[in-house]
Amino acid sequence: AKTVHEKWDISYHFKSPDCVRKLAVTVNGGTPGPTIRAAQGDTVVVTVKNSLMTENVAIHWHGIRQIGTPWADGTEGVTQCPILPGETFEYRFVVDRPGTYMYHAHYGMQRSAGLNGMIIVSPAEPEPFSYDGEHDVFLNDWWHKSTYEQAAGLASVPIEWVGEPKSLLINGRGRFNCSALAASGGAAAACNATSPDCAVQVFAVVPGRTYRFRIGSVTSLSALNFEIEGHPMTVVEADGHYVKPFVVKNLNIYSGETYSVLIKADQDPNRNYWLASNVVSRKPSTPTGTAVLSYYGGRSSPRALPPTAAPTGPAWNDTAYRIAQSQATVSHPAHVHPPPPPRADRTILLLNSQNKIDGRIKWALNNVSFVLPHVPYLVSLKHGLRGTFDERPPPETYDNSTGYDVYGVQPNPNATTSDGLYRLAFGSVVDVVLQNANMLAPNNSETHPWHLHGHDFWVLGYGVGRYDPVAHPAAYNLKDPIMKNTVAVHPYGWTALRFRADNPGVWAFHCHIEAHFFMGMGVAFEEGIDRVGQLPEEVMRCVSKKGGRH
Ligand code: C2O
Ligand code: CU
């Protein structure tokens, strides 16, 4: 195994990803940042210099389990103090499994400002499929307001919701309609349709060959549907695990998920085809995000737009269609490694609800809305600091969990905030059941993509309506469940997952919608803290020796 060194300077740059000029947080001047390519077993060392001048930073390696290096997870408030302006921080970790992963800022809502990218780990052993070439597709949504304006709006009374994205980006490129901006009184000067930042991304293929497309979504809000016009996709990988192959016309992908699909370049090479990303699950008001697939040797110029209209995806509110795809995603028969333990030692049932605290709209789990502590949990727990967070554990279930009407407006929208965490017995098997519900307004329930740091979990089942703790576990898929690090909880539904608490450290588990986590939609798990090695000094620069925060 080798060591892959990256030297990153994090700084502001004016960028025009969708042709509209905006201040972005960049890695070495780019958004997305560079793709990290490594081989299974390699050590990745990223030296991060924070050149933002007035803003902290922390970078999370999404999908990398950080076995033995919990302090390198990059989660501000959980595993480290923020990297202050002018400071340098070294992330050092092993990429122990092959697959498609991502990285992104994990400080406030900074991820939305453009600090993100892909991590691709090549396998040590042959994969259960083959292909001739590879392309990477990184999906995002994009706003013109700064993340500060967004965060301040979310915390206001009444709330100023971030709204639907202005554009959908593919590999950091989108296309906002400049004439619409001028018509709406916007500064036309800020929109430059000829900026190279927003030039259409072209994916070239050789006729007759098979391609692997690695697809990751780092959206702040949107559930997406991705399609390559005229080219059915065979899904072969999800979150770094091999999938029992299945074919789709288009792929639903939630924020925090990655997939690999295979396509065959077997269409008429003399025209180009659309790559399209469309919003699903929320009523869309954002135009389709597009890129172009072009055949080498065809008569069409590579940059020519396809002669057809871009695919518009399935109906945005076709929940059954999306659940069917979630359920079709099971483990490859030869790669059910390791099989799930037959039963759990503990089950935590989390009601996902929208609540109000002091007139502010929040998200809560069992009516507890999460806030991050000022001293990172990892430091407090490893060093035995007291009084740095609420030591009362959050609830294991919710009131009236067997009589609750998930389709109705919650009778009691009050909630509390807490920075308490769940402490898990080391090595124990933990089930988490995520129960979706109606929001504050009637007839509305959203999709929440939940992401677990430090582990992969088995996806045991999905259901619609209220989870039944007696009947539903009997139908869990223990035969070939896929392992993932991010999974969707569908509107009015529930999702059950299982993991082994065998990675010493403290790990965030949260909705990957940036605004939802900011509004409290998350929890934290501790396991095996006594087995955590000595923490590097640089993760605790915000903690005084006596335990308080500087
Ligand atoms: Cu990709 Cu805690 O997130
Ligand atoms: Cu959410």
pLDDT per residue as tens digits for the range 247-293 = 999 999 999 999 999 999 999 999 999 999 999 999 999 999 999 99
Q: What is the pLDDT of residue 185?
A: 64
Taking residues 86-101, what's their average pLDDT? 98
Give Cα separations from 170 to 103, 142, 259 (angstroms): 16, 11, 15
CA 228, 464, 441: angle at the middle one, nearest 5? 90
- Residue 421, Ramachandran bin (φ over 0: left; ψ between -120 and 50: alpha; else beta): beta
Q: What is the pLDDT of residue 179?
A: 82
- Ligand 1 atom with the shortest distance to the CA of 63: 1
Q: What does 343-398 look like in DSSP terms, one character per residue?
A: S-SEEEEEEEEEEEETTEEEEEETTEEE---SS-HHHHHHTT--SSS--SPPPSS-
**Owner of token pair 């040797």:** 297
HSE, side-chain direction, 13 A CA sphere, residue 404 = 26
pTM over 0.90: yes
Q: What does 132-160 look like in DSSP terms, one character per residue?
A: SEEEEEEEEEE-SS-HHHHHHHHTSSS--
Q: H or E segment at 523?
A: strand 522-527
Q: What percent of the chain has pLDDT over 70?
A: 97
ipTM exceeds 0.90: yes
CB 375 within 8 A of CB 369: no
- Ligand 1 atom with the shortest distance to the CA of 218: 1
Q: Mean pLDDT in the chain? A: 96
| Closest to 8 (Cα-Cα) out of 34, 38, 33, 28 | 28
Give Cα separations from 359 to 77, 158, 369, 410, 502 (angstroms): 25, 8, 14, 16, 40
The response to whether residue 111 sits with its C-beta less than 6 Å from ligand 1 reads no
The response to whether residue 508 sits with its C-beta less than 6 Å from ligand 1 reads yes
Band of the pLDDT at 463, cuts 50, 70, 90? very high
Within 225-318, residue ranges assigned H as helices are none
| Closest to 387 (Cα-Cα) out of 375, 378, 372, 369 | 375
CB 197 within 8 A of CB 19: yes
**How many whole angstroms separate alpha carbon 437 and alpha carbon 472?**
17
Q: How many CB atoms lie within 10 A of CB 310?
A: 20
* pLDDT at 182 > cutoff 80: no
CA 447 to ligand 2 center in whole angstroms: 7
Question: Which ligand is in closest contact with the Cα of 516?
Answer: 2
The response to whether residue 451 sits with its C-beta less than 6 Å from ligand 1 reads yes
CB 476 within 8 A of CB 460: yes
The response to whether residue 516 sits with its C-beta less than 6 Å from ligand 1 reads no
Q: What is the pLDDT of residue 548?
A: 67
Q: What is the pLDDT of residue 178?
A: 86
CA 510 to ligand 2 center in whole angstroms: 8
Q: What percent of the chain has pLDDT over 90?
A: 94
Q: What does 422-451 look like in DSSP terms, one character per residue?
A: EEE-TT-EEEEEEE----SSSS----EEEE
SS3 assignment for 316-352: CCCHHHHHHHHHHCEECHHHCCCCCCCCCCEEEEEEE
CA 309 to ligand 1 center in whole angstroms: 34
CA 370 to ligand 2 center in whole angstroms: 13
CA 146 to ligand 1 center in whole angstroms: 20
Name the phi and psi angles at 531, rounded to 5.
-95, -5
Name the phi and psi angles at 472, rounded to 5.
-70, -40
Question: Which ligand is in closest contact with the Cα of 521?
Answer: 2
Closest residue to atom 1 of ligand 1, CA basis:
62
CA 468 to ligand 1 center in whole angstroms: 29
Q: What is the pLDDT of residue 501?
A: 98
CA 310 to ligand 1 center in whole angstroms: 31
Taking only the tens place, the pLDDT of each residue in 410-441 is: 988 999 999 999 999 999 999 999 999 999 99
Q: What is the pLDDT of residue 547?
A: 62
Q: What is the pLDDT of residue 180?
A: 76
CA 52 to ligand 1 center in whole angstroms: 21
CA 494 to ligand 2 center in whole angstroms: 13
The response to whether residue 244 sits with its C-beta less than 6 Å from ligand 1 reads no
**How many whole angstroms separate alpha carbon 150 and alpha carbon 251?**
29
Give Cα separations from 44 to 72, 91, 103, 364 (angstroms): 11, 8, 13, 35
Q: Residue 135 forms beta bridges with which residues?
A: 213
Q: How many CB atoms lie within 10 A of CB 433?
A: 24
Cβ neighbourhood burial of 157 (10 Å; 0-12, 13-18, 19+): exposed
The response to whether residue 256 sits with its C-beta less than 6 Å from ligand 1 reads yes
Band of the pLDDT at 72, cuts 50, 70, 90? very high
- Residue 505, Ramachandran bin (φ over 0: left; ψ between -120 and 50: alpha; else beta): left
Taking residues 487-515, what's their average pLDDT? 98
* pLDDT at 64 > cutoff 80: yes
* pLDDT at 43 > cutoff 90: yes
- Ligand 1 atom with the shortest distance to the CA of 522: 2
HSE, side-chain direction, 13 A CA sphere, residue 436 = 23
Q: What is the pLDDT of residue 550?
A: 62
- Ligand 1 atom with the shortest distance to the CA of 510: 2
The response to whether residue 289 sits with its C-beta less than 6 Å from ligand 1 reads no
Q: What is the pLDDT of residue 186?
A: 63
Name the phi and psi angles at 500, rounded to 5.
-100, 125
The response to whether residue 484 sits with its C-beta less than 6 Å from ligand 1 reads no
Q: Going by C-beta distance under 8 Å and a sequence separation of 6 or more, which residues neighbour residue 191?
A: 19, 20, 21, 176, 178, 181, 182
CB under 5 Å of ion ligand 2: residues: 448, 511, 513, 516
Taking residues 54-71, what's their average pLDDT? 98
Taking residues 508-535, what's their average pLDDT? 98
- Ligand 1 atom with the shortest distance to the CA of 111: 1
Taking only the tens place, the pLDDT of each residue in 316-332 is: 999 999 999 999 999 99
The response to whether residue 510 sits with its C-beta less than 6 Å from ligand 1 reads yes
**How many whole angstroms separate alpha carbon 201 and alpha carbon 216?**
16
CB 180 within 8 A of CB 102: no
Q: What is the pLDDT of residue 338?
A: 84
* pLDDT at 187 > cutoff 70: no
| Closest to 57 (Cα-Cα) out of 103, 126, 125, 92 | 103
CA 72 to ligand 2 center in whole angstroms: 25
Domains in the chain: ranges and CATH: 1-125 (2.60.40.420), 128-321 (2.60.40.420), 336-540 (2.60.40.420)
